[in-house]
Amino acid sequence: MAATSIRPPGPETPDWLQKLQYAFQFTRYLDRVGAYGDVVRAPLIGNNPNTFLVGSPAGIKQLLSGDGGRIGSPPNSHLRPIVGDTSLFVLEGERHRRERRLLMPSFHSERIKDYGHIIRDLTLCALADRKFGIPFPIREVMQNISLDVILKVVFGVVGGNRFDLLKSYILRLAETMRSPLFAACLFFPILQKPYGTWAYFKSLQQKIDELLYAQIRDRRQVKADAAPGTDILSLLIAARDENGDAMTDGELRDELMTLLLAGNETTANTAAWAMYGIYSNPEVHKRLRAELLELGETPDPAVIAQLPYLNAVCNESLRLYPVAVLTTPRMVKAPVVIQDYAFEPGAILYGSIYLTHRRPDLYPDPLAFKPERFLERSYTPFEFLPFGGGERRCIGEALALFELKLIVAGLVVNSALQLADQRPEIPRRSGVIVTPGRGVPMVLQHD
């Protein structure tokens, strides 16, 4: 069909109201705009009136592949105050590609296997402080495990004073960053003043930086006189680009902050949603537990990660409850046509992970939690895309999936957990992440 210049449909409500609706009732808003079609105008973030969502596999494929250079992936510049000038998030073009080439080998699935015992041990003691019969939000447990994994596996901080200090500062930083005031400061730099929320954020950041630079120094030292460590920081220190150049201390610091920001809350909330999906569907729990028990007493983490039903359960959870509802933004660089709509340079396009994952033509009965669908057919990377795709595809996917599987398996097999009540979880936005609104209250039973 010939391309038209008609603008994609979308709600007629004023843009400012749509932004508010997305901010406060984002699932209802996305469901509403999704009903207008596969490509819709949705001015939900930022001030560009030409902002669109793409929610069909064909459109997503074109978007994420860059369509022969006509669509680019602009930097996420508003994150610069948190992650620095040399973070993967804020780089673009060749510098972004160079940085990805340096980082990606450390996150390869074969390498990640080495961290199985750390994740398994953290999961085994995750409920040690919880009392039988007293409800607690499982999200808190997941946040604790996920942060410990980042500190140990990514930063290589194994314990001691530095571990405790970093953890307490990062928890305070995360709390600060969740506040609406902080989000306002991030999007309106004029509010970044040397007092109040922003000043508190900067003081925490300075303390964290001091500890990170000390860790980088120590890791470089180890590398000089002994075998390099196996943590991701040590691998990044050893990495070289095509010219044989290594990353500087500043680049390493920026990437450690990037990995923390990108990998911590995403993994924790995905794990909390998975527990909700499993424990609110007794048949799923029964079948999963049976599959896990067949492996015997202390199975190899790498073997656990290969289990087909566990894999299907994790995928179904990522489908129905994607913690990132949109990809990062893409920008039109040269005129392009997507599904009969013509876009001019400057237009902002988001891949809608949420809408694609709820398409009844791909996922019949889309609101039901049915892991079996991932056993019955396979999905293309443009039909199932919890980690985005293309040149900004998540680099932590293998680590996140491995972690998710080991945590879920460890808790389902070793703990007599159940949901504390039958009230449904309502998705809530926390920054750019979607969390279960009540944190999934669970309770430990005597076996």
- List residues binding ligand HEM (CB under 6 A): 88-89, 100, 154, 258-259, 262-263, 266-267, 270, 323-324, 327-328, 386-390, 392-396, 399-400
Is the separation of the CB atoms in 19 and 43 below 8 Å? Answer: yes
Closest separation in Å from C-beta 412 to ligand HEM: 18
CA 428 to chain CA centroid, nearest Å: 15
Closest separation in Å from C-beta 108 to ligand HEM: 13
With respect to ligand HEM, which residue has the nearer C-beta, 198 or 354? Answer: 354
Q: Residue 297 in 3-state DSSP?
A: coil
Is the separation of the CB atoms in 72 and 335 below 8 Å? Answer: no
Closest separation in Å from C-beta 178 to ligand HEM: 18
Which residues pair with residue 136 across a beta bridge?
442
Closest separation in Å from C-beta 328 to ligand HEM: 4
Phi-psi region of 337 (alpha: psi -120 to 50; beta: other; left: phi over 0): beta
Q: Running DSSP on this structure, what letter comes out for residue 352?
A: B
Name the residue whose CB lies closest to ligand HEM.
396
Q: How many residues does the chain have?
A: 447
Q: What is the CA radius of gyration of the chain?
A: 22
Is the separation of the CB atoms in 406 and 308 below 8 Å? Answer: no
Is the separation of the CB atoms in 8 and 41 below 8 Å? Answer: yes
With respect to ligand HEM, which residue has the nearer C-beta, 404 or 420? Answer: 404
Q: Running DSSP on this structure, what letter comes out for residue 7?
A: P
- How far apart CA 329 and CA 315 sit, in angstroms, is 24
Closest separation in Å from C-beta 240 to ligand HEM: 19
With respect to ligand HEM, which residue has the nearer C-beta, 222 or 432? Answer: 432
Closest separation in Å from C-beta 384 to ligand HEM: 12
Token pair for residue 414?
């070793």
In order of 2, 6, 152, 269, 293, the CA distances from 340 in angstroms are 7, 9, 49, 37, 52
Query: Vertex 424, ends 443 and 24: CA angle to 5°?
Result: 120
| Amino acid, res. 74 | P
With respect to ligand HEM, which residue has the nearer C-beta, 40 or 262? Answer: 262
Closest separation in Å from C-beta 393 to ligand HEM: 5
Closest separation in Å from C-beta 371 to ligand HEM: 16
Tell me which residue of 355, 333, 353 sits closest to 344, measured CA to CA: 333
